[in-house]
Amino acid sequence: MLSRMAGEFLHVSKYTAQMNEPVQKRKAPSRTNDPARTMAEILEVATTEFADKGLSGARIDEIAAATRTSKRMIYYYFGSKEGLYVAVLEAAYGRMRQIEADLHLNDLSPEAALRRLVEFTYDHHQSNEEFIRLVMSENVHRGEYLAQSKEIQKLNGSALQTIQDLYNRGVKKGVFKKNLTPLEIHSAISALTFFNVSNQHTFGLIFKSNSPQGKAQTLKKAQVVDMMVSYVCA
């Protein structure tokens, strides 16, 4: 069921642009005969619920109340609580990969394209803490639910292909080092951009360090970009 609905989830992503806004601050939607809009509203609220409480702690009752829908309707669209959780993961990865596709990296020189990709990833993670928490939650489950989604596997495969195409251009022009793989590059970008968000609270408490803000945040991003350029460029 989820694979048939995946395209519709991505189509309705325009209704979920403010995924990080707390549930209590959102205006509860009225019930509608528009299934796509209803599903998008459920996904929006469910994203916050799962990000805050994880799969085991999230409650379908609370999601239904926040969307002025019903548990029955949620189960009709998504099959189960686990089905809704997988749909949330699909939508979260889908939004990120869609923006990546819109970066037009092929229009830039290899180094400029690499910089743009790293900058985007850094900014995305900084402004989408819910995405980070969802990924951390899924790691607790050892990727059990991620593995159930062919859509996510396809989406992340396209991310590696984007890096492969960029890397091949850079090697051909002599500006990138040889013998790197797209997975190595993707892993390095993720490591440098993910940790700053995922561990900000524990790291800050242990080492008495606040998360960078303003100019410090801009400097931090520039450092991350420069580290990736140094790693990849010849």
Domain final residue pick, 86, 103, 119: 86
Q: At 155, is the pLDDT very low, low, confident or very high (cuts 50, 70, 90)?
A: confident
Domain final residue pick, 86, 109, 137: 86
What SS3 class is residue 176? strand
Q: How many Cβ atoms sit within 10 Å of the Cβ of residue 24?
A: 8
Tell the residue number behind the tokens 């596709």, with chain if given.
Answer: 101
Q: Six-digit token pair at 219?
A: 């400097």
CATH for 69: 1.10.10.60
- Are 182 and 204 in a shared domain? yes
Q: At 146, is the pLDDT very low, low, confident or very high (cuts 50, 70, 90)?
A: very high
Mean pLDDT (the chain, rounded): 86
Q: Please state, in angstroms and rounded to a whole number, the distance separating the CA atoms of residues 232 and 234.
A: 7
**According to the model, what pLDDT value does residue 19 have?**
40
Query: Does pLDDT of 119 surpass 50?
Result: yes
CATH for 111: 1.10.357.10
Query: Does pLDDT of 16 surpass 90?
Result: no
Mean pLDDT of 189-213: 85
Q: Please state, in angstroms and rounded to a whole number, the distance separating the CA atoms of residues 153 and 109.
A: 28
**According to the model, what pLDDT value does residue 32 have?**
52
Per-residue pLDDT reduced to its tens digit, 36-92: 999 999 999 999 999 999 999 999 999 999 998 899 999 999 999 999 999 999 999
**According to the model, what pLDDT value does residue 198 have?**
86
Mean pLDDT of 11-39: 53
Q: At 21, is the pLDDT very low, low, confident or very high (cuts 50, 70, 90)?
A: very low
**According to the model, what pLDDT value does residue 192 have?**
95
- Are 116 and 82 in a shared domain? no
Mean pLDDT of 124-129: 94
Helical H segments across 13-149, by residue range: 35-57, 60-67, 71-78, 81-101, 110-127, 129-140
Q: How many Cβ atoms sit within 10 Å of the Cβ of residue 17?
A: 10
Q: Six-digit token pair at 226?
A: 């420069």
Query: Does pLDDT of 207 surpass 90?
Result: no
Domain final residue pick, 86, 110, 142: 86
Mean pLDDT of 126-131: 94
Q: What is the percentage of the chain residues whose pLDDT exceeds 70?
A: 86
What SS3 class is residue 233? strand
Calculate the CA 205 to chain-centre distance: 26
- Number of helices and strands (H, E) in the chain? 11, 0
Query: Does pLDDT of 15 surpass 60?
Result: no
Residue 116 is part of which domain span? Answer: 93-232
Mean pLDDT of 140-149: 94
Q: Please state, in angstroms and rounded to a whole number, the distance separating the CA atoms of residues 192 and 69.
A: 40
